[in-house]
Amino acid sequence: MARFPGTGEIGGDADALLARLGIPADRLKGARAAVTPLTGETIARITEMDAPAVQDAIGRAHAAFLQWRMVPAPRRGELVRLFGEELRAAKSDLAALVTLEAGKITSEGLGEVQEMIDICDFATGLSRQLHGLTIATERPDHRMMETWHPMGVVGVISAFNFPVAVWAWNAALALVCGNSVVWKPSEKTPLTALAVDAIFTRAAARFGGVPEGLSTLVLGGRAAGEALVDDARVPVVSATGSTAMGRHVGPRVAQRFGRSILELGGNNAAIVCPSADLDLTLRAVAFAAMGTAGQRCTTLRRLMVHESIYDALLPRLKSAYASVSVGDPRAEGTLVGPLIDAGAFEAMQVALEAARAAGGIVTGGERLGAEFALDAYYVRPALVEMPAQTDSVAAETFAPILYVLRYSDLADAIRLNNEVPQGLASAIFTTDLREAERFLSAAGSDCGIANVNIGPSGAEIGGAFGGEKETGGGREAGSDSWKAYMRRATNTINYGSSLPLAQGVTFDVG
Ligand code: NAD
């Protein structure tokens, strides 16, 4: 039996959590309400910053960078290691706040904080591996090498649905690379950002001698983000959020020749082939499509099922959708928590209406628990059998809707996979080696993440996360993503007494 929280039930829990996480009391007052999606009620108040205050923070971050860049990289890694330790100590409280503020179920809140810890471990090791190449030179008695240097202030703009991990993916790398960081979190999740800031402050105090302004938090909406985007003292802007946001941020940063790392929308698909292990597929699809109430950039939104197994898979999927437990994300057994707000619910209903109008058969999608919490939006995830990939299927609706399509030929399924503008993550379920390899080949999935027998979500820190197309082309976290936070210098050293010029050039002044 699902449980829904009632209005007035959360306030005490929130106050105790905010105090345990060490958020200074003076940061918890102001004109702006911080709201929980569990009930829709205000759980704290905060003060947002205007553009001059953001510019001031950037000035302090720039001054901090000038000192921090000269600290040896492994020593910078030590600060990030200490931050990872503080995160371990605060893990359950921070995860509980993620649940309260973003609506994630308890295990997903814990998983998000674990990702922060993982990137700290990764970045600590990386701080001893910021390698450049030594390159064979054509000149006698010369040596040529490349050196990686920090960029300066890294601006981080983050989305509500990963309120703490996205900043950590960026900040852990940026800091070991020698940069300072200014963070503008989503206006929907200021409290988790304040908590992370307090945790970082504890790590900095243990480290000792961290320049003031090395990691700064600026709370606010779009205007605060724009102040970061337009400031020439911010050479790198890493922005995670909707494609609409990326369309503003990308060109504005480019106009001043800044560098942007954009992580934008996703409209992710999976193909289920005739040889797929259906038990495994069912579990993977259910988690990828319904987890986080469909509010992950990597949420599975489209499923292409081969006609030979469609009638075997669909009834099982429908019964998983009908029985999934929706409700209070803190309650044991809940798998789907609330949508972030009324706007998300309305966008979901508009998309379902468009699907019906295009001949889709909708199961689920209705609002639940409204009688308990009038300002909260819980929904049963929707499964929509579609006759074709229509415009609304090809758009990202940030809610739990899974569109199911039939296919007969793998080439058609791969074409459908690629035929949306977003293309972030993708998967194929098959035990046929040829099908799997074809999906991963240059002629297969065009996504930044292409998986076999595992859903499209749940990226690992060690890999580089992101995609091409409307996802913005940015890469965060593992692999060689660190290079986006540094600049490369090529150095040539002459240890001889002659001066060979460029190929074929003579220039005799003596
Ligand atoms: P959003 O675009 O509404 O907001 C994201 C952030 O951008 C917020 O901090 C917001 O204040 C800021 N912002 C908005 N307009 C801006 C502007 N013009 N200039 C500067 N800053 C601006 O996104 P959201 O609703 O918080 O998050 C959901 C979206 O994020 C989905 O589309 C999802 O796919 C995407 N997302 C992508 C990834 C990824 O890694 N690819 C990860 C998480 C979320």
Identify the burial level of 145 via C-beta atoms within 10 angstroms of its C-beta, where 0-12 means exposed, 13-18 middle and 19 or more buried.
Answer: middle
- The answer to whether residues 416 and 444 belong to one domain is yes
Tell me the CA–centroid distance for residue 266 and ligand 1, in Å: 12
In a domain, 62, yes or no: yes
Q: Which atom of ligand 1 is nearest to the CA of 221?
A: 11
In a domain, 105, yes or no: yes
In a domain, 325, yes or no: yes
- The answer to whether residues 242 and 170 belong to one domain is yes
Residue-wise pLDDT for 298-312, tens only, equals 999 999 999 999 999
- The answer to whether residues 191 and 178 belong to one domain is yes
CATH number at residue 316: 3.40.309.10
Q: Which residues neighbour 179 within 8 Å (Cβ) at sequence distance 6 or greater? A: 65, 68, 69, 150, 151, 152, 153, 154, 236, 485
- The answer to whether residues 256 and 347 belong to one domain is no
Band of residue 226 on the pLDDT scale cut at 50, 70, 90: very high
* Pocket mutation for ligand 1, best pick of 115, 157, 253, 268 (most atoms within 8 Å of C-beta): 157
- The answer to whether residues 272 and 258 belong to one domain is no
Catalytic position from the list 108, 226, 263, 396: 263
In a domain, 36, yes or no: no
Residue-wise pLDDT for 286-297, tens only, equals 999 999 999 999
- The answer to whether residues 252 and 312 belong to one domain is no
Mean pLDDT of 245-258: 96
Position 410 scores a pLDDT of 98
| Composition of the chain by helix, strand, coil, percent to 5 | 40, 20, 40
Position 456 scores a pLDDT of 94
Q: Which atom of ligand 1 is nearest to the CA of 186?
A: 9
Task: Tell me if 8 CB under 6 Å of ligand 1.
Answer: no
Tell me the CA–centroid distance for residue 183 and ligand 1, in Å: 13
Mean pLDDT of 230-251: 96
Position 147 scores a pLDDT of 97
* Pocket mutation for ligand 1, best pick of 234, 295, 297 (most atoms within 8 Å of C-beta): 297
- The answer to whether residues 203 and 294 belong to one domain is no
Residue-wise pLDDT for 148-163, tens only, equals 999 999 999 999 999 9
Position 372 scores a pLDDT of 85
- Contact yes or no for 90/197 (Cβ under 8 A): no
Answer whether residue 22 shows pLDDT above 90.
yes
* Pocket mutation for ligand 1, best pick of 119, 219, 240 (most atoms within 8 Å of C-beta): 240
Can you give the three-state secondary structure of 470-498, one letter per residue? Answer: HHCCCCEECCCHHHHHEEEEEEEEECCCC
Tell me the CA–centroid distance for residue 249 and ligand 1, in Å: 10
Number of domains in the chain: 2
Residue-wise pLDDT for 107-133, tens only, equals 999 999 999 999 999 999 999 999 999
Q: Which atom of ligand 1 is nearest to the CA of 159?
A: 26
Rounded distance between C-alpha atoms, residue 218 and residue 208, angstroms: 23
Query: Is 226 annotated in the active site?
Result: no
Tell me the CA–centroid distance for residue 164 and ligand 1, in Å: 13
* Of 13-17, 98-102, 399-403, minimum mean pLDDT range: 13-17
Answer whether residue 44 shows pLDDT above 70.
yes
Q: What is the DSSP letter of 40?
A: S
Atom 23, ligand 1: residue with shortest CA distance: 241
Mean pLDDT computed over every residue of the chain: 96
In a domain, 29, yes or no: no
In a domain, 294, yes or no: yes
Q: What is the DSSP letter of 503?
A: T
Position 440 scores a pLDDT of 98
Rounded distance between C-alpha atoms, residue 105 and residue 331, angstroms: 8
Position 1 scores a pLDDT of 61
Position 262 scores a pLDDT of 96
**Residue span of the structural domain in which 72 resides:** 50-264+471-490
- The answer to whether residues 324 and 367 belong to one domain is yes
- The answer to whether residues 376 and 435 belong to one domain is yes
Task: Tell me if 213 CB under 6 Å of ligand 1.
Answer: no
In a domain, 169, yes or no: yes
- The answer to whether residues 101 and 242 belong to one domain is yes
Task: Tell me if 298 CB under 6 Å of ligand 1.
Answer: no
Answer whether residue 228 shows pLDDT above 90.
yes
Tell me the CA–centroid distance for residue 311 and ligand 1, in Å: 38
Task: Tell me if 297 CB under 6 Å of ligand 1.
Answer: yes
- The answer to whether residues 322 and 390 belong to one domain is yes
- The answer to whether residues 289 and 392 belong to one domain is yes
Mean pLDDT of 451-464: 90
CATH number at residue 103: 3.40.605.10
Rounded distance between C-alpha atoms, residue 152 and residue 64, angstroms: 9
In a domain, 40, yes or no: no
Answer whether residue 474 shows pLDDT above 90.
no
Position 500 scores a pLDDT of 83
Answer whether residue 458 shows pLDDT above 80.
no
Tell me the CA–centroid distance for residue 240 and ligand 1, in Å: 5
